[in-house]
């Protein structure tokens, strides 16, 4: 049925989409009801009384699942020791905040009532998030739990997940849950569909659970919103519900409602815990490919506390040179309560010509970010330790982070 609807309506939907920029995708992602389900309701009392640790000027680093997986499968004691080393190295360089992955593929690094344990544990599960929080705080590091809201596992990995987890439950009954979870060939992964209120609620509940159970200082999502701009992803829901607005606008509404619900869930659990978003640095990509209404999210209250655009470009980038892109973001209308930090791509010091040839480029970008925004975040931790080239860059980064 979905394929038939898509074939009949594809041309119409493409017309309704916003124009796609001719610039390449530089990284790799409603108020209209779709199905009967509950939405978050305001609560009058907070659940967590923890007083978060956050800094006026943020000097953050992302620690991804790629850096955690190798130390998760050897058990709790080994993980605790290795993560302690990571925190000590972060403090020595000059960072004060960590964005640490705790959910990458609709799974978790902690016991959850909503998500199954990550395959990274290899069957040796323990509460890694508890260790992460306690260790970070021992070094006076602010800890933001980083989640990917929509990305799920590969088809092969899903076979090993519990049959009663939400993703497998929806996949097992495609007639009832059509387009709840969609496979996207270009990514080799399944993805949750933010058009479905039940899915938006699951994601919000999962964020609230983290704040209720752990003394985190923030919850953080990155740029994994819609994984494709193609109509097949949600054409059935769009057509069957006779959505009266263009597909692109409807998708942006879906993402905005998801973000709003996450923010609300975090604040209901603890109003002092921050919620932040790290969208793509290319603003056009956010709208044409991800359907992420970043301008709205930073100009209106109720969506986020801070935003960290991933400006992973050199100064000589053909499409989005760093300085000019930085200026575009700093000049966007922004509610005075919402902070702007800058995401910097340290991983490029070993992979892109300008970053390889220009010593100190990451330190220079940090200096600009700290002087004209509320802080910065570096992607990622491993990039500062993986080569002799990184050793030199790490020293320059440390000098810049520790400048008075």
Beta bridge partners of 97: 60, 142
Contact 298, 242 (CB under 8 A): no
Provide the percentage of residues in the chain whose pLDDT is more than 70: 89
At residue 388, the pLDDT reads 83
Map out the domains of the chain as residue ranges.
2-15+54-101+127-144+197-401
The mean pLDDT value for 280-293 works out to 98
Dihedral pair phi/psi, residue 113, rounded to 5°: -85, -5
In the predicted model, is pLDDT for residue 344 greater than 50?
yes
pLDDT at 47: 77
Of 169-178, 203-212, 239-248, 386-395, the one with minimum mean pLDDT is 386-395
Per-residue model confidence as pLDDT tens digits over 50-83: 999 999 999 999 999 999 999 999 899 999 999 9
Task: Please state the rounded mean pLDDT for residues 145-150.
Answer: 98
Residue 34 has pLDDT above 80, yes or no: no
Are the CB atoms for 190 and 228 separated by under 8 Å? Answer: no
pLDDT over threshold 70, residue 27: no
Residues facing 142 on adjacent strands = 97
**Res. 29: pLDDT tops 80:** no
Contacts of the segment 232-235: beta carbons below 8 A, 24+ positions apart = 232/2, 232/6, 232/182, 233/179, 233/182, 233/184, 233/191, 233/193, 234/179, 234/182, 234/193, 234/195, 235/2, 235/5, 235/6, 235/9, 235/10, 235/13
> What is the Cα–Cα distance from 172 to 159, expressed in whole angstroms?
11
CATH superfamily of 2-15+54-101+127-144+197-401: Glycosidases (3.20.20.80)
Q: Between the CA of residue 269 and those of 45, 111, 205, what are the distances in Å?
A: 8, 18, 10
Per-chain mean pLDDT for the chain? 90
Tell me what pLDDT residue 389 has: 86
Q: What pLDDT was estimated at residue 16?
A: 41
Residue 19: per-residue pLDDT = 38
In this model, does residue 194 exceed pLDDT 60? yes
Mean pLDDT value across residues 95-104: 98
- Read off the pLDDT band of 122 (50, 70, 90): very high
Q: Using DSSP, how many helices (H) and how many strands (E) does the chain show?
A: 15, 11
Instruction: Please tell me the predicted confidence (pLDDT) of residue 18.
Output: 40
319 contact partners, CB below 8 Å, separation of at least 6: 23, 24, 26, 282, 313
pLDDT in tens, 213-237: 999 999 999 999 999 999 999 999 9
Instruction: Give 247's contacts (C-beta < 8 A, 6+ positions apart).
Output: 13, 16, 17, 231, 238
Asked if 262 and 268 count as a contact pair (C-beta separation under 8 A), the reply is no
Q: Which two tokens stand for residue 210?
A: 């983290």
Residue 226, both tokens: 């819609």
Distance CA 103, CA 223 (A): 14
Q: Answer yes or no: is pLDDT of 31 > 60.
A: no
Q: Read off the pLDDT of each residue in 40-46 and give the average, rounded to a whole number.
A: 49
Residue 28, number of CB atoms within 10 A of its CB: 13
Q: Return the pLDDT at 45.
A: 59
d(CA 371, CA 366): 9
Q: What pLDDT is stored for residue 23 in this prediction?
A: 39
- For residues 257-272, give the mean pLDDT: 98
Distance CA 307, CA 301 (A): 13
| Token output for 174 | 């495609």
CA distances for 11 relative to 114, 235, 246, 262, 338, angstroms: 38, 11, 13, 34, 39
Residue 30 banded pLDDT, cuts 50, 70, 90: very low
In order of 148, 320, 345, the CA distances from 310 in angstroms are 15, 12, 7
Sequence-separated (6 or more) residues with CB below 8 Å from residue 29: 150, 151, 223, 224, 225, 226, 227, 289, 290, 292
pLDDT at 13 over 90: no
């Amino acid at each position: 049925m979905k394929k038939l609807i898509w074939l009949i309506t594809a041309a119409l939907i493409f017309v309704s989409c916003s124009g796609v920029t001719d610039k390449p995708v530089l990284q790799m992602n409603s108020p209209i009801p779709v199905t009967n389900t509950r939405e978050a309701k305001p609560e009058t009392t907070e659940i967590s009384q923890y007083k978060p640790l956050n800094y006026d000027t943020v000097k953050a680093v992302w620690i991804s699942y790629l850096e955690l997986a190798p130390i998760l499968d050897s058990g709790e004691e080994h993980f605790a020791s290795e993560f302690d080393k990571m925190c000590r190295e972060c403090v020595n360089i000059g960072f004060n905040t960590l964005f640490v992955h705790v959910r990458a593929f609709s799974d978790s690094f902690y016991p959850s009532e909503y998500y199954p344990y990550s395959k990274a544990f290899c069957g040796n599960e323990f509460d890694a998030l508890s260790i992460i929080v306690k260790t970070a705080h021992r070094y006076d590091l602010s800890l933001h739990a980083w989640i990917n809201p929509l990305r799920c596992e590969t088809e092969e990995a899903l076979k090993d997940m519990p049959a009663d987890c939400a993703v497998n439950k929806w996949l097992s009954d495609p007639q009832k849950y059509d387009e709840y979870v969609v496979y996207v060939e270009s990514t080799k992964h399944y993805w949750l569909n933010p058009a479905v209120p039940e899915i938006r609620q699951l994601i919000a509940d999962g964020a609230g659970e983290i704040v209720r159970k752990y003394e985190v200082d923030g919850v953080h999502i990155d740029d994994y919103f819609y994984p494709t701009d193609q109509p097949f992803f949600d054409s059935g829901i769009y057509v069957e519900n006779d959505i009266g607005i263009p597909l692109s606008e409807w998708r942006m509404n879906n993402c905005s409602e998801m973000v709003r619900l996450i923010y609300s869930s975090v604040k209901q659990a603890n109003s002092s815990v921050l919620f932040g978003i790290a969208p793509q640095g290319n603003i056009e990509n956010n709208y044409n490919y991800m359907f992420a209404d970043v301008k709205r999210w930073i100009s209106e209250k109720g969506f986020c506390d801070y935003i960290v655009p991933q400006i992973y470009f050199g100064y000589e980038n053909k499409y989005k040179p760093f300085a000019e892109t930085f200026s575009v973001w700093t000049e966007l209308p922004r509610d005075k309560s919402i902070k702007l930090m800058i995401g910097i791509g340290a991983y490029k010091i070993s992979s892109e010509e300008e970053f390889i040839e220009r010593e100190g480029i990451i330190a220079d970008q940090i200096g600009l970010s700290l002087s004209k925004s509320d802080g910065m975040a570096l992607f990622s931790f491993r990039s500062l330790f993986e080569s002799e080239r990184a050793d030199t860059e790490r020293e320059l980064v440390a000098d810049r982070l520790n400048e008075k």
